[in-house]
Structure 1
């Protein structure tokens, strides 16, 4: 069994996977994203980067990643291009907690790639772990802004730009 992701976590999961297993492999024809434009917030590292790589492997027409750090976005873009050189990779620096910022980023992506077929509102943080007693209010507010307001802003900005049948 692989090490648990968090210290002191009791896990009932028998097997931990770090790579897609055959049943969910993005290279399976029935899971193809051929011709689709994909946008991922929080696409510069972690789960977002893995989503981008998987959609490139699934032959997406384009994968656009949005994040706050250009350097991290460029590193992720390289990984996505390596997964499939035929997939167009776009990147936008934006802050999902700022409605104008995410709206501008999504409009730029649509101008370059066309309507959005698949949208992953993935931007988020894992808040600092600690007891409620003495927990800093500013840390709670930061996590609420990024994890809740950021997702809300992202989805509101995405909806008018969605292709028919978008997911």
Structure 2
């Protein structure tokens, strides 16, 4: 996971992550900074933080940080269930699948770096959502649902490969 704290970008690494995932996460953080529209880059530090060894400079960004969380909740699914239980007053009002469909555009119309050159109703952060399902399949080699199930870092990498980041 990446946490952009403006003056520093943290790469949080889970205890069960593989070496290639850790290296890829760090490269993704560097690419993220290199493509930052605000112009940050080489002088912004990227700090790797390991699970269960988070410093106060990292945990301070999370008001309800619990150092013992992973002792009582051994995996992500258990954490997800716990968060849902602890936040019973919060519920999703409109499921993404029931929302109005977004207008679609060809890849060429979305494959621009300057946000002001995009169609007015396109969010530059999620350009891929404006591809027609058939073109999405052709561009990414998978369905939008399969793409959405990928980790965020992997989706970002794929978007960069096709010029949608």
Instruction: Please say which structure displays the higher CA radius of gyration.
Output: 2
When the two structures are superposed, what TM-score results if normalisation uses the length of structure 2?
Answer: 0.26
When the two structures are superposed, what TM-score results if normalisation uses the length of structure 1?
Answer: 0.26
Where is the strand percentage greater, Structure 1 or Structure 2? 1
